[in-house]
Amino acid sequence: MIKALLAAVAAGLISTSAMAASVTIYADDFDGNVTVYPGVTGAILGGVVAPANGSYAGSNGKSWVGNFRQNNSTGNPAAPTFFTFNNLPAHTALSFDFMLGFIDSWDSTNGSPSPDLLAFLIDGNPAAALTTATASGNVSFYAGGTQIVDNGQIDMHVFFSDDLVDMATAGFLSFAHTASSVTLMIVASGAGWQGGSDESWGVDSFRLTAVTPNGHIPEPATVALLGLGLAGLAASRRRRQ
């Protein structure tokens, strides 16, 4: 009985642990290396491919090097960039990850002219609004992202300095999700936004991952099953004594 119980617990642990795994849905380094999960259709609309200046490493194998996707649109709000993906496999959560560049003369929320804001919307819902200070002002907000470059040079327009942020640690970019499509929209706005050659933004090493069936992460049900098994084992031993 004890062996059978332990076998059942082990079987439950194995089968339930195979319930979640992170898979790459889409990845693009804008240097010609694109990965697409089978059956998924995706598009990045808005902005242009531009050459990076220097080489900077981020987490999860990301880098800012070669080319990146730049948006230097004018207006308030400016023309956005859309990251849209359809026919996603069955999943319970999604994560966006990329290097984010704040390029040229960002004036934060208290500089002149300001504010300069970068808004993120996921499936049309506002998720975060970021800013930085490379020209004037003193407020920098990355919503949990990790700054890699502070007032350096990451593009070929070297008159102004730039900031670079690794967005892997930005919590709002990882979220529960089950629908078959997702859209991330990034748009610059604010009364101080000028765009063009004065200020812009860009992304490199873009990646979308999903938590799908097939993995090695034990679910709560596994823990409960293991607890029941151990309780039964203890009761069996007490009866024998």
**What pLDDT, in 10s, does the model give residues 138-163?**
999 999 999 999 999 999 999 899 99
Please count the other Cβ atoms lying within 10 Å of the Cβ belonging to residue 59. Answer: 14
Residue 159 is predicted with a pLDDT of: 87
Query: pLDDT by residue (tens digit) across 22-80?
Result: 999 999 999 999 999 999 999 999 999 999 999 999 999 999 999 999 999 999 999 99
CB 109 within 8 A of CB 139: yes
Domains and CATH numbers, the chain: 1-19+216-241 (no CATH), 21-214 (2.60.120)
Instruction: Taking residues 95-122, report their average pLDDT.
Output: 97
Beta bridge partners of 75: 78
Instruction: Taking residues 92-98, report their average pLDDT.
Output: 98
- What percentage of the chain carries pLDDT values higher than 70? 80
CA-CA distances (angstroms) from residue 59 to 36, 98, 190, 205? 21, 9, 30, 10
CA-CA distances (angstroms) from residue 55 to 120, 156, 204? 26, 12, 11
Instruction: Taking residues 117-129, report their average pLDDT.
Output: 98
| pLDDT over threshold 70, residue 5 | no
| pLDDT over threshold 60, residue 166 | yes
Question: Among 14-23, 107-116, 178-187, 232-241, where is mean pLDDT lowest?
Answer: 232-241
Ramachandran class of 240: left when φ > 0, alpha when ψ lies in -120 to 50, beta otherwise: alpha
Long-range pairs of 44-49 with CB within 8 A, sequence gap ≥ 24? 44/69, 44/81, 44/82, 44/83, 44/84, 44/206, 45/81, 45/82, 45/84, 46/71, 46/73, 46/79, 46/80, 46/81, 46/82, 47/71, 47/72, 47/73, 47/81, 47/202
Residue 19 is predicted with a pLDDT of: 54
| pLDDT over threshold 60, residue 236 | no
pLDDT band at 213 (very low <50, low <70, confident <90, very high): confident
